[in-house]
Structure 1
Amino acid sequence: MASVGMISLGCEKNRVDAEMMMARLQKAGYELVDDASCADVAIVNTCGFIEAAKKESIGEILELGKQKAAGQIKAIVVTGCMAERYQQEIRKELPEADAVCGIGADADIVEVVNRTLRGEHPELFPEKTLLPLCGERVHSTPLYSSYIKIAEGCDNRCSYCAIPLIRGPYRSRPMESILEEAKALAESGTKELIVIAQDTTRYGRDLYKKWMLPELLHKLCSVDGVEWIRLLYCYPDFMTEELMDTIAQEPKIVKYVDLPLQHCSGPVLRAMRRFGDREKLTALIGKMRERIPGLVLRTTVIAGFPGETEEDFAELCDFIKEIRFERLGCFAYSQEEDTPAAEMENQIEEDEKRRRAGRVMETQMGIMQDWGEAQVGRVFDVLTEGFDEETQCWFGRSYADAPEIDGRVYFTAADAPAPGQFVRVRITACMDCDLMGEAE
Structure 2
Amino acid sequence: MAETERKPAIFLLSLGCSKNTVDSERLMAQALASGLTFTDDADEADIILINTCGFIEDAKEESINETLAAIGKKEDGGVREVYVMGCLVELYRNELAEEIPEVDGWFGTRELPEVLVAIGAKYREELFDRRELLTPPHYAFLKISEGCNRHCSFCSIPKIRGPYVSQPVEQLLREAALLQEQGVKELNLIAQDISVYGYDLYGKSALNDLTLRLSDMGFDWIRLLYAYPLNFPLEVIDTMRERRNVCNYLDMPLQHINDRILRSMQRGIGRKATEQLIDDIRQRNPDIRLRTTMIAGYPGETRGEFEELLDFVRQTRFDRLGCFPYRHEEHAPAYALDDTVSDEEKEERVSELMELQEGISASLNRKFEDQTLKVLIDRIEENVAYGRTEYDAPEVDNDVIIEIGDEVAKEGDFRQVIVEDSTAYELFGRIGEKRNKKQQ
TM-score (structure 2 length as normaliser) = 0.93
Q: Which of the residues 130, 136, 139 maps onto 2:130?
A: 136
Q: Which of the residues 326, 339, 342 maps onto 1:333?
A: 326
Q: Is the 8 A contact 1:429 1:435 kept in 2?
A: yes
Q: Is the 8 A contact 2:359 2:424 kept in 1?
A: no
Distance in 2, Cα, partners of 1:188 & 1:265: 45
- CA deviation string 1:193-249 (max 9, x = no partner): 00001001110000101011011111111113x110000001111223322212222
**Mean Cα displacement is larger for which, 166-175 or 373-382?**
373-382
- AA of the residue aligned to 1:425: V
Q: Is the 8 A contact 2:297 2:341 kept in 1?
A: yes
- AA of the residue aligned to 2:393: A
Task: Report the CA distance between 1:300 and its aligned residue.
Answer: 0.4
For residues 134 and 352 of structure 1, do their structure 2 counterparts lie closer, same or farther at Cα, with a shift above 3 Å needed? farther
Q: Which of the residues 100, 104, 111 maps onto 2:106?
A: 100
The 5 A counterparts of 1:73-92 are 73-92=79-98
Q: Is the 8 A contact 2:205 2:233 kept in 1?
A: no
The 5 A counterparts of 1:10-159 are 10-114=16-120, 134-159=128-153
**Mean Cα displacement is larger for which, 273-282 or 350-359?**
273-282
Q: Which of the residues 385, 390, 397 maps onto 1:394?
A: 385
Distance in 1, Cα, partners of 2:388 & 2:147: 29
Q: Which of the residues 191, 194, 202 maps onto 2:185?
A: 191
Give structure 2 stretches of 5+ with no counterpart: 1-6, 433-440
- AA of the residue aligned to 1:171: V
Aligned equivalent of 2:373 = 380
Instruction: Tell me the secondary structure at the aligned position of residue 406 of structure 1.
Output: coil
Aligned equivalent of 1:203 = 197
Instruction: Tell me the secondary structure at the aligned position of residue 300 of structure 1.
Output: strand
- AA of the residue aligned to 1:18: S
* Mapped pair 1:247 → 2:240: yes
- AA of the residue aligned to 1:186: Q
Aligned equivalent of 2:256 = 263
Q: Is the 8 A contact 1:200 1:233 kept in 2?
A: yes
* Mapped pair 1:177 → 2:168: no
Distance in 1, Cα, partners of 2:75 & 2:408: 46
Q: Is the 8 A contact 2:30 2:127 kept in 1?
A: no
Q: Is the 8 A contact 1:385 1:419 kept in 2?
A: yes
- AA of the residue aligned to 1:154: C
Task: Report the CA distance between 1:72 and its aligned residue.
Answer: 1.8
Task: Report the CA distance between 1:146 and its aligned residue.
Answer: 0.8
Task: Report the CA distance between 1:170 and its aligned residue.
Answer: 0.2
- CA deviation string 1:28-84 (max 9, x = no partner): 111111233431101110001111110110011111122222122111100000011
For residues 314 and 132 of structure 1, do their structure 2 counterparts lie closer, same or farther at Cα, with a shift above 3 Å needed? farther
Distance in 2, Cα, partners of 1:196 & 1:145: 13
Distance in 2, Cα, partners of 1:147 & 1:267: 35
Q: Is the 8 A contact 1:36 1:43 kept in 2?
A: no
**Mean Cα displacement is larger for which, 371-380 or 275-284?**
275-284
For residues 132 and 92 of structure 1, do their structure 2 counterparts lie closer, same or farther at Cα, with a shift above 3 Å needed? farther
- CA deviation string 1:83-103 (max 9, x = no partner): 111111111112342210112
* Mapped pair 1:361 → 2:332: no
Give structure 1 stretches of 5+ with no counterpart: 116-130
Q: Is the 8 A contact 1:425 1:437 kept in 2?
A: yes
- CA deviation string 1:285-320 (max 9, x = no partner): 121111112111000000011111111100001111
Aligned equivalent of 2:413 = 421
Aligned equivalent of 1:121 = none
Aligned equivalent of 1:279 = 272
Task: Report the CA distance between 1:142 and its aligned residue.
Answer: 1.3
TM-score (structure 1 length as normaliser) = 0.93
* Mapped pair 1:370 → 2:363: yes
Counting matched residue pairs gives 422
Q: Percent identity?
A: 40
Instruction: Tell me the secondary structure at the aligned position of residue 202 of structure 1.
Output: coil
Distance in 1, Cα, partners of 2:126 & 2:89: 17
- CA deviation string 1:249-295 (max 9, x = no partner): 22111000000000000000000011433332222112111111211
Task: Report the CA distance between 1:369 and its aligned residue.
Answer: 1.5
Task: Report the CA distance between 1:132 and its aligned residue.
Answer: 11
* Mapped pair 1:7 → 2:1: no
Distance in 2, Cα, partners of 1:67 & 1:359: 42
For residues 291 and 37 of structure 1, do their structure 2 counterparts lie closer, same or farther at Cα, with a shift above 3 Å needed? farther
